[in-house]
Amino acid sequence: SQQGEEDPQALSIQEGENATMNCSYKTSINNLQWYRQNSGRGLVHLILIRSNEREKHSGRLRVTLDTSKKSSSLLITASRAADTASYFCATDESSYKLIFGSGTRLLVRP
């Protein structure tokens, strides 16, 4: 089964609101990453959080990691229409292999 599973599958918010996406995984990890994918495009790496970190910030992004619950969350603050995309978490099955979840499709309404 999938290592990472995002929740919710789809999220629609108004511009300016915050968006929170969650990711759960099953096995031990060294790192967890979040990626963004605009419709029909490639993946853009957003942020990596290591297993010994609990929280990390990058601009309007905030990622948390709870290894005891095997879960992570991605918070996008003050969302913009340009944030409309699919967001994926990915965990490392090995030093080189990533396991992706099915993604959260975020729609930010102007």
- Give contact residues for another protein (rule: CB under 8 A): 2, 4, 31, 33, 40-43, 45, 88, 90, 92-93, 95-103
Kindly tell me which of 42 and 59 has the beta carbon lying closer to another protein.
42
Q: Which residues in 13-38 are b (16+ Cβ under 10 Å) and which e?
A: beeeeebbbbbbbeeebeebbbbbbe
Q: How far is the CB of 48 from another protein (least distance, A)?
A: 8
Answer yes or no: are the C-beta atoms of 79 and 16 closer than 8 Å: yes
Q: How far is the CB of 32 from another protein (least distance, A)?
A: 11
- Minimal distance, residue 67 CB to another protein, in Å: 18
